[in-house]
Amino acid sequence: MSDSSRGSAEPGVSPGSSLAEAAGIACARVLKVQGGEQVLIITNPEQDAQAISSALYAAVLDRGGVPVILIQGKKNQFDFAEPAVIAAFQAKPPVVISISTEKLGKDRQGIACPYEHGGEQWDHIFHLQLYGEKSCRSFWSPGVTVESFTRTVPIDYTGLGRRCAAINGILSTAVSVHVAAPGGTDITLGLRGRCAKADDGNFMRPGAGGNLPAGESFVSPENGTAQGLIVFDGSISLHNRDIIITDPIRCEVSGGFITGISGGGDARALEETIIQAERDAGEYEKTGRLPRGQGKIYRRNARNIGELGIGLNPRARISGNMLEDEKAFQTCHFAIGHNYDSDAPALIHLDGLVREPTITAALEDGTKIILEKDGELQI
């Protein structure tokens, strides 16, 4: 990828856009907010979250929408959202924005007694409305800062959409994908029956949603197929924070699950988060926060390889903020825990970066397609 394409933006958008301009792009170009539409903005009291939420509120008003801001305390991977937040979804807002310092928070009722729609189950009312009923569209920005939002939101969404579509087309028809990297990663993932997804910033229609900043293609591996070694050497999410990795974390993977973790202090921190997720899964079932029999499933999937993603935002960089880090060029990321096909539930979803990967997809007929080579995109 040339330097000029790495810095390109949507025509008419200045690289030095202000927060108000970035918020305007988010509402007009990403969500296409219409006059009279109710827009629910859920946020936390922290300074950056408040500033971005206020800018989005003003941008919604400028487009004739009806914004509502709801503020709750900071939530981590194990916390539940406040009842008032869950209740706000009962109004069926057509647009939902989450600007959280860490997480939106779990749905206590949904995780204890999942919602059903179209033969599928959802453990959060937000997921029910977005993915099941498709009654809303949304973006969510956990951990976003004013600096990051202002820098990474004004990009060329048309170009991003084309690249996401090309990569997704290959991953969705591949039977497997192999990832290798200079840090030691060497792993193969099965992809039969899996459909890749795009975080391309096109969230204009009901049922569409993703991160902002946008910029990744991602897929959940076929359960039980991941085999090899992942060496995380960029940054990684823990249950309550994201960290820049100072000592590479080696994760041995067999049958789809992590079977061993080694390294220094960062590896121990990751192991502690996973152990907490395993322990809490049993506790959730005992206290009725998970349906009977689900504790064992959630415990097992705390070590599941739930995602492979490829960073595609030309302005993203690794800074210890996973929302942005996982979108950076010359990286891919794997998630430990919950997957995106709703057949491997867990209490955690921990993204971790691998630098300068070579990613090769294998098709049914044996054809190999290189998506990325030594960190450089080939598509």
43 and 139 together in one domain: yes
Task: Give the integer Cα–Cα distance in Å for 57 and 41.
Answer: 8
Phi-psi region of 184 (alpha: psi -120 to 50; beta: other; left: phi over 0): left
Statement to judge: residues 226 and 114 lie in one domain = no
Give the 3-state secondary structure of 230-242. Answer: EEECCEEECCCCE
Instruction: Please indicate, yes or no, whether residues 372 and 250 belong to a single structural domain of this protein.
Output: yes
Q: What is the mean pLDDT of residues 300-307?
A: 98
**Domain containing 354: what range?**
156-377
In a domain, 94, yes or no: yes
Q: What is the DSSP letter of 128?
A: I
Same domain, 280 and 212: yes
279 pLDDT above the threshold of 50: yes
Decide if pLDDT at 200 tops 70: yes
Domain for residue 11, yes or no?
no
d(CA 313, CA 178): 22
pLDDT, mean of residues 355-378: 98
The answer to whether residues 179 and 130 belong to one domain is no
- Tell me the HSE value of 44 on the side-chain side, using a 13 A CA sphere: 22
pLDDT, average across residues 66-70? 98
- Tell whether the model's pLDDT for residue 2 goes beyond 80: no
Where is average pLDDT lowest: 15-29, 54-68, 173-187?
A: 15-29
How far does Cα 336 stand from its chain's mean position?
A: 12
Torsion of CA 49, 51, 53, 54, to 10 degrees: 160
Average pLDDT, the chain: 94
pLDDT of amino acid 6:
35
Domain final residue pick, 126, 147, 168: 147
Task: Say yes or no: 89 and 189 in one domain.
Answer: no
Same domain, 311 and 201: yes
Mean pLDDT of 354-375: 98
CATH number of the domain that residue 86 is part of: 3.40.50
- pLDDT above 70 coverage of the chain, percent: 96
Q: Which amino acid is at 60?
A: V
| 95/201 same-domain check | no
Number of domains the chain is built from: 2
Q: How far apart are CA 146 and CA 139, in angstroms?
A: 16
Q: Are residues 237 and 91 in the same domain?
A: no
Residue-wise pLDDT tens digits, 80-127: 999 999 999 999 999 999 999 999 999 999 999 999 999 999 999 999
Mean local confidence (pLDDT), 277-302: 95
One domain, residues 88 and 223: no
> Residue 233 class from Cβ within 10 Å (0-12 exposed, 13-18 middle, 19+ buried)?
buried
pLDDT of residue 12: 41
Q: With a cut of 50, say whether residue 250 has pLDDT above it.
A: yes
161 and 132 together in one domain: no
* Same domain, yes or no: 123 and 171: no
Residue 14 has pLDDT above 60, yes or no: no
What is the reported pLDDT for 17? Answer: 65
